[in-house]
Structure 1
Amino acid sequence: MAGVAALAVCSVPFRGFAAVIAPRFPIRAEPLPLTDVRLRPSDYATAVEVNRDYLLSLSADRFLHNFRKYAGLEPKAPIYGGWESDTIAGHTLGHYITALVLVWQQTGDAECRTRADYIVSELALCQSRREDGYVGALGRKNAQGAIVDGREVFDEVRQGRIKSGGFDLNGSWAPLYTVHKTFAGLLDVHQAWGNELALKVAIGLAGYFEGVFSALDDAQMQEMLGCEYGGLNESYAELYARTGDVRWLKVSERLYDRRVLDPLVAQEDKLANFHANTQIPKIIGLARIHELTGKEAPGRAARFFWDRVTNHHSYVIGGNADREYFFEPDQIALHVTESTCEHCNTYNMLKLTRKLYSWQPDAALFDYYERAHLNHVMSAQNPATGGFTYMTPLMSGTARGYSEPGGEEFWCCVGSGMESHAKHGESIFWAGNDPAGGDTLFVNLYIPATAQWKKKGVGLTLDTEYPFKPEVKLTLDAVKQGAFTLALRIPAWANGRGAITVNGVPVPQRTANGYAMIERRWKKGDVIALNLPLDLRLESAPGSEDLVAVVRGPMVMAADLGPAEMEWTAVEPAMVGSDLLAGFRPQVSDRPRYLAQGVIRPGNLTFVPFYSQYDRRSAVYFKRFSESGWKQEEASFLAEQARQKDIAARSIDVMHLGEMQPERDHKLTSDISYPVSYRGRNGRDARSGGFFEFTMKVKPGPLVLQASYWGDERLRKFDILVDGTKIGTQTLDHDKPGKFFDVDYPVPEAVTRGKSTVQVRVVPHDRNSAGPVFGMRMVTAKK
């Protein structure tokens, strides 16, 4: 690819935080309580209201179905479908409890508090019937394939019988992950309004699992921790903080997955090929342990992890991971797909960011927070329906998939979505004390809101249309103790160009850790105005200077490619020219809107805020070329078309794996095998112990079975058979990074002689997966 050397691309990484602390700068900070912040009209306020309506439309009794059933009580309502009818049942209830708590804190809605208390009372009843402290809804599959009470999983674990493939433990889907969600919900109810019954249930649950874990030696513990366990270490640490009972801290510190966490303590980035969201809650737990014990290693690991993920593993919208997994650092350019940015990852990264910030305020942390909150979290809820995304795809032309609120799609990201859109006011304002005892009010997010800083008797209103418009106004509605420092975050992308006035007059200020800090004795009616530049810029994707995204202030802009309900089959758009931003013309609109003229191939496109493309298809990343480079790209495209035309001419039969009708037409049968979709192509895999098999047409003469694979798959081995004869063993292990590739398997003529069809069978080796295979075709051999 020929780049454009003359084009300056502004890429603003999230600088390493806490490098320097200015004199008299707060070492600690905490957010103003969510109960003291109220959102004013904005997209954020709309998201909270839509989410509140969604939460109240759900049935607590349906979520409680299995809790009651497995405790020997009659369920009050039928169980929900989707994941809640699988062995991971119960994970949503924990999120739901927390979301109810947050909505009550954010809005004061009494029904949310009443419902959360009701759920706690039901869990307490179920726990009392169990008699050993356990309470849960998770299941496990027995030998007959039926889902039964999952507590027997932990009976087996206690005996040292542990079998896990990473997401399953003794026939149950991530059971400790599910337990953590219940645990966390109970602790949130207790913290919010002192519900002592919630703490009692949490202590009973903690005691049960303390007994399970105490039966395991270190090797068995590590084997068990190979299965996703959420942030269970954080919950035990938090229980220690609430009760002062050191036994819970000991359990928390034992919930330590050495394979993942030891390298982070050693400041080594070995995240590639780890499931992303499995790891982030573990780091949040380490951060909490550091807070409670002062031990340096857990805190060091948390800081290192944050820096690596935000600066080396994150997309322009702030999300991370492809197909849920981390890949090698600084390789975003090779992973722009329809399976990017699982919402749960960002939900947890924002929780980690808040923790690190509380240790030492630094604007770099909130530069990341703002980017991810605005562009990823806000795109993950459709305000028209209240549905949530699982992935937020960044591949050009890919539509977002939202859960159906009236349906029963309770993915993990539905649960984290319930929480994310219950609390948009939680991180706007923070308060801290400097070493000399002075108070500081930090304004970290420019979201319309009112707030009460009760310590100083300050009431304030933040009024703005940012990030659509550059002006931010902060009015002090009440002031009892007027001497304090006001710290306004100046984002790194502003390059220090934030203009500030108080009551219309420029004022003296100092800068520290990314903040403009104004020290004075404030009075009621003071108006602070901030103006931030919202210029367009290009940001390169890590891994390629010639793959760029358009950003305006903190907001990622996207080319609008049309409605989601219309299939998009056009050529992926690219940018061509030496001064790309000169082609962007602002359009009259209440939201930022630009027409890019003469710099997009194959034609002009309109750019709008990415997050608002709920029911639209988008392009975010663009390959950029000089005029001569674009001509070379066209030539390569034509050559590939010629290759495909030759293959089509020699094809006898084509199997489009992962597509319903072709699989029916070819009489596909399978076991432990699943359809997949990746980078716009459908395929199918088979897991250990499974297979898939289908019929293909043949004709006399030398034939070749051609299979398509993605070149960045993790290690896997499998066999390919034709009518029982093995014609190839395939190993995939990052063979062709960043591209699909084809493999030809010659078919012995003796296998096809006298036949019009054959059976193609794909079988993984033991403890391996097969594929995914993104299509197969039977072709005549080249002469």
Structure 2
Amino acid sequence: MKTNLFHIAFLLLTSLSALAQMQPFALQEVKLTGGPFKNAQDVDLKYILALDPDKLLAPYLIDAGLPLKAQRYGNWESSGLDGHIGGHYLSALAMMYASTGEPELKKRLDYMVAELARCQAKNGNGYVGGIPQGQLFWKRIHKGDIDGSSFGLNNTWVPLYNIHKLFAGLRDAYEYAGNQQAKQVLVSLGDWFVELIKPLSDEQIQQVLRTEHGGINETFADLYILTRDKKYLETAQRISHRAILNPLLAKEDKLTGLHANTQIPKVIGFEKIATLTGKADWSEAALYFWQNVSQTRSVAFGGNSVREHFNPTTDFSQVLRSNQGPETCNSFNMLRLSKALFLDKNDVSFVDFYERTLYNHILSSQHPEKGGFVYFTPIRPNHYRVYSQPETSMWCCVGSGLENHTKYGELIYSHSANDLFINLFIPSTVNWAARKIKLTQRTEFPYQNQSELLVETAKPQEFSLQIRYPKWAENLEVLVNGKAQPVDGKPASYVAISRKWKSGDKVTIRFTTTTRLEQLPDGSNWSAFVNGPIVLAAKTSTKDLTGLFADDSRMGHETKGKLYPLTNAYALVGDPATYLAQLKPESRLRFALDTLTLQPFYEVHDARYQMYFPTFTKAAFAEQQTHLKQQEAEALTLEANTVDKVNCGEQQPEVDHQYTGEKSDSGYDEERFWRRTRSYIAYQLQNKGLTGRYVDITALDDIKPENVSFLINEKPAEILVNQRKTIRLKADSNEVVTLKIVAQNGKSSPRINQIRILTK
């Protein structure tokens, strides 16, 4: 049975690249044998098994009208995104089973798929989903009743994004674990969706796609791969978002201000569709996007975004200041895009980015002992991260986090018809069954700059070992059975060792690395220490770690501890040539920097930390510190006086404050987000302890009371001050403040930027 399951997985994994040089190994063929990645896989396995399948299935049973076996989870699973973790869980079960062979994973996977099939049968039309009142919602869409914004479609929280997780989970259950029933449920669900959108015009479909929808186009390309039915490939192209695709086709950067993780899965879909249709321009669009994000929008550890959105490439100041740094979901999807482009284009530069992000963001995003996944990774000096818990936390980055640590074996090796490629230096084995070759990699990298490869083969045979010469390596030395080999290659390429290999042959790979400073992409005076591919950081404090392990609150994934002033950050002062000389080696990847100790960022947990360091000449230090101190004082004073706030036009803040509205749109201008309406918009804020006395509203346009009215808890608000683009209302005596903004006289409201409840 195992052989049959492997054969299914192998065929599916290689179908896209059958004509390409580079092909992946199935997860079943690669096993981790030690090191931090094996530890992360083991910790993730415990987290996966701590979750209750019946609780994850509850939203699907509710929607199908079937009796519950357990109450659903709370948090995001009970506040509009019901069922999304269930889809991720299918993927995690399938990939972890493929990676480890743990039978309990297969047992749970088969059970969940059977329950989903039961829900699908009860619905009777091919549909299965956990979206609240899903049947009613989709009927409205089928009729062309569409009112969408960036995250709300007919005031429902990202329903296509939600159902995409189920599409992907069912695909993975079949692809990685050979569950035939998953394929049947998936095809029926796909047929339902094709019929759902059949009456809609292309314009209406693009209107639906304004709302975050994950990689729904990719999963229909996958359905085509599984069935070879062209209707799925046609659907995949039809549900590709033109507002994102067209600028990329024209090589135009229109990304600033967009919700980052909304875009990345779409581009993965563009790339997959390109491989199936021969649309070279779509693949070039995906490549342009990857280059833009990886080279101009990513910080040292590979992550991107601030408060979930792409910041200007010329200004990373908000990324430095915010406690909502790069989001883990973004890197989860950037790795998927990097892998797809690598297999398509055979370019090792994709692996350089993949490796950097894998070690420094993905590996660091799970607590290595207690488990738990990170949503935001701030680069603000002296700040920290929050970890999820199985019973309390159901965020998107929990869903992708469950998957992240199941598939570390996916790109350590790859192969062509005759060559075996070593892409990453991670202790593991690969079993190339088709060629009857087994390779064992023994390494302690990055703590040792060496790796050994042991060859086992049924009989002597000729092939090439293609060893990656990393971009970060100062040099590369290769020995076969102790004898040095000529290295015909350069950094960011492969070195081919061709011979007739026999069992017992040993290849030794050695390289050297140095520590260097990397500036932020905007060229500002903030730099990170990097050794080889490893980003170094220093623990600075274990104080004020409020909410380190998340509760079940809607914003439990965001840190609640105080912001330490940026002026408290450790600074590098003097001649730039002396900055690196200040490091004093203590041991491998440990450096003293005055009172600080730099170490790999993925080792830094349960503490505040500093990753980026401001750099100054002696002459500039005092002046710039004074300017920064003034800016910080103003910002921190405002935050101290704020009881609650909404950043309008940003996805999570609006979801967190129960946004509703009609005839509304949002955007990004003047480096600020906004939302406006031709009807109404409403938010629910919290005035805890009734300490807030005022509701301040700021806009990008003049606020004219004759064209817009304000209601607080359904009563006309008392306007205290109107200063053109800022208006102050009197807060009422309720702890829950529902603010409704209504357009008047047939005119659009001003572009509302921010709403705050203030104490003074």
Residues 609 and 715 (structure 1 numbering): CA distance in 2 closer, same or farther, change over 3 Å?
farther
Change (3 A) 1:91 1:718: farther
Whether the aligned pair in 2 keeps the contact of 1:708 and 1:776 (CA below 8 Å) is no
**In the alignment, what sits opposite 2:612?**
621
State the partner residue of 1:515.
494
Q: Residue 643 of structure 2 corresponds to which residue in structure 1? A: 657
Picking from 227, 231, 235, the partner of 1:251 is 235
1:528-585 residue CA offsets vs partner (Å, 9 max, x unmatched): 1112222110001111242111001101001211226556746122111221111101
- Once the two structures are TM-superposed, the CA of residue 696 in structure 1 deviates from its matched residue by 8.6
1:472-522 Cα deviation digits (max 9, x unpaired): 111113353531111111221225x12222222211242276112222222
AA at the equivalent of 2:35: S
Q: Residue in 2 aligned with 1:397?
A: 382
Deviation per CA, 1:166-193: give whole Å up to 9, x if none: 2111232111111111111111111224
Whichever residue aligns with residue 112 of structure 1, its letter is L
Structure 1 residues 429 and 112 mapped into 2: Cα distance closer, same or farther (>3 Å)? same
The answer for the alignment partner of 2:553 in structure 1 is none
CA 617–75 in structure 1, closer or farther in 2 if over 3 Å, else same: same
Does the C-alpha gap of structure 1 residues 321 and 764 become closer, same or farther in structure 2, counting only changes over 3 Å?
farther
The equivalences for 1:403-422 within 5 A come to: 403-405=388-390, 407-422=391-406
Q: Residue 637 of structure 1: CA displacement?
A: 5.5
Amino acid at match of 1:119: M
Which AA in structure 1 matches 2:375?
Y
Listed as ranges, the matches of 1:289-688 within 5 Å are 289-336=273-320, 337-405=322-390, 407-433=391-417, 439-478=418-457, 480-495=459-474, 497-511=475-489, 514-563=493-542, 565=544, 569=564, 571-578=568-575, 579-588=578-587, 592-597=589-594, 604-636=595-627, 655-658=641-644, 672=658, 688=681
SS in 1 for 2:526: strand
**Distance between the aligned counterparts of 2:510 and 2:407, measured in 1?**
26
- Cα pair distance change 1:476/1:708, threshold 3 Å: farther
Give the length in aligned residue pairs: 674
1:35 aligns with 2:34: no
Deviation for aligned residue 1:308: 0.8
Structure 1 position 69, deviation (Å): 2.4
Give the secondary-structure state (helix, strand or coil) at the position aligned to 1:532: strand
* Inter-CA distance 402–465: structure 2 relative to 1 (3 Å threshold): same
Contact 1:333 1:543 in 2 (8 A): no
Task: Please identify the structure whose Cα radius of gyration is greater.
Answer: 1
Structure with greater helix share of residues: 2
Name the SS of the counterpart of 1:498 in structure 2.
strand
Shift in Å at residue 334 of structure 1?
Answer: 4.6
Q: Distance in 1 between matches of 2:369 and 2:36?
A: 12
Residue by residue over 1:106-142, the C-alpha shift from the partner in whole angstroms, topping out at 9 and shown as x without a partner, is 1111111121111111111111111111111111xxx
Q: Call closer, same or farther: CA 1:515–1:172 in 2, change over 3 Å.
A: same
Look up the equivalent residue of 1:613 and give its one-letter code: V
Q: How has the CA–CA distance of structure 1 residues 726 and 490 changed in structure 2, closer, same or farther, with 3 Å as cutoff?
A: same
CA change 1:768–1:250 in 2 (3 A) is: farther
Quick check: 329-338 or 569-578, which moved more?
Answer: 329-338
Where 1:335 maps in the other structure, the secondary structure is helix
Q: In terms of mean alpha carbon deviation, does 445-454 or 514-523 score higher?
A: 514-523
Q: Could you tell me which residue of structure 1 aligns to residue 117 of structure 2?
A: 124
Secondary structure of the structure 1 residue equivalent to 2:467: strand
CA distance in 1, matches of 2:702, 2:352: 39
- Displacement, 1:770? 4.5
Mean Cα displacement is larger for which, 303-312 or 454-463? Answer: 454-463
- How far did residue 728 of structure 1 move? 2.6
Shift of 1:403: 0.5
| 1:697 CA drift (Å) | 10
Question: Is residue 719 of structure 2 the alignment partner of residue 725 of structure 1?
Answer: yes
Match of 1:204 in 2: 188
**Secondary structure at 1:376 match in 2:** helix
Partner SS, residue 129 of structure 2: coil
Unaligned runs of 5+ in 2: 1-18, 546-560, 646-655, 661-673, 711-715, 731-736, 744-748
Please tell me whether the aligned partners of residues 700 and 751 of structure 2 are also in contact (alpha carbons under 8 angstroms): no
Corresponding residue of 2:558: none
Distance 1:453 1:95 in 2: 29
Q: Name the CA shift for 1:75/1:481 in 2 (closer, same or farther; >3 Å).
A: farther
Distance change >3 Å, CA 482–CA 87, structure 1 → 2? same
Q: Which of 168, 175, 192 is residue 191 of structure 1 equivalent to?
A: 175
**Distance across 1 between alignment mates of 2:138 and 2:213:** 13
- The sequence identity of aligned pairs, in percent, is 33
The 8 Å contact of residues 692 and 757 in structure 2, kept in 1 or not, is answered as: no
- 1:696–1:329 distance in 2 versus 1, CA, 3 Å: same
> Cα distance, 1:443 vs. partner?
0.8
**Aligned residue identity for 1:388:** F
Task: Letter of the 2:36 partner, please give it.
Answer: D
Q: Distance in 1 between matches of 2:313 and 2:433?
A: 44
**Post-superposition shift, 1:346?**
0.7
SS at match of 2:408: coil
Aligned CA distance change for structure 1 residues 198 and 723 (closer, same or farther; 3 Å): closer
1:349/1:635 Cα in 2 relative to 1: closer, same or farther (>3 Å)? closer
1:133-159 C-alpha deviation (Å, 9 max, x unpaired): 1111111xxxxxxxxx22211100111
Separation of aligned partners in 2, 1:716 and 1:481: 79
Quick one: which of 130, 133, 141 aligns to 2:126?
Answer: 133
Within 1, Cα distance between the matches of 2:373 and 2:640? 36
Q: Distance in 2 between matches of 1:96 and 1:500?
A: 42
Partner of residue 217, structure 1: 201
Pick closer, same or farther for the CA change 1:640–1:46 going to 2, 3 Å. Answer: closer
Q: Distance in 1 between matches of 2:431 and 2:27?
A: 10
Output aligned runs, 1:17-96, within 5 Å. 28-96=21-89
Within 1, Cα distance between the matches of 2:387 and 2:691? 36
Structure 2 letter corresponding to 1:490: Y
- Letter of the 1:548 counterpart: S
Q: 1:255-294 maps to which residues of 2 (within 5 A)?
A: 255-294=239-278
**SS of alignment partner, residue 114 of structure 2:** helix
- Deviates most, 157-166 or 330-339: 330-339
8 Å Cα contact 1:233/1:285 also seen in 2: yes
Q: Aligned-pair distance for 1:714?
A: 8.7
Are the structure 2 counterparts of residues 60 and 564 from structure 1 closer, same or farther at C-alpha, using a change threshold of 3 Å? farther
Find the aligned partners of 2:73 and 2:441 in 1 and give their Cα distance.
41
Distance of 1:432 and 1:718 partners within structure 2: 66
- Cα distance in 1 for partners of 2:610, 2:334 equals 25
Q: Distance in 2 between matches of 1:127 and 1:761?
A: 38
Aligned counterpart for 2:95 among listed residues 75, 99, 102: 102
For the 8 Å contact 1:133–1:208, the answer to whether it is kept is yes
Q: Distance in 2 between matches of 1:714 and 1:390?
A: 30
User: How far apart are the structure 1 equivalents of 2:356 and 2:440?
Assistant: 23
Instruction: Return the offset for 1:631.
Output: 2.5
Give unmatched runs, 5+ long, in structure 1: 1-25, 140-148, 434-438, 598-603, 660-669, 675-683, 699-704, 732-742, 752-759, 779-783
Q: Is the contact between residue 487 and residue 517 of structure 1 (CA under 8 Å) also seen in structure 2?
A: yes
Q: C-alpha deviations, 1:427-482, integer Å up to 9, x for none?
A: 1000014xxxxx11111111111111223221111111111221111111335353
The 1:300–1:636 alpha-carbon spacing in structure 2 relative to 1, beyond 3 Å, is closer
**Which one-letter code corresponds to 2:721 in the other structure?**
I
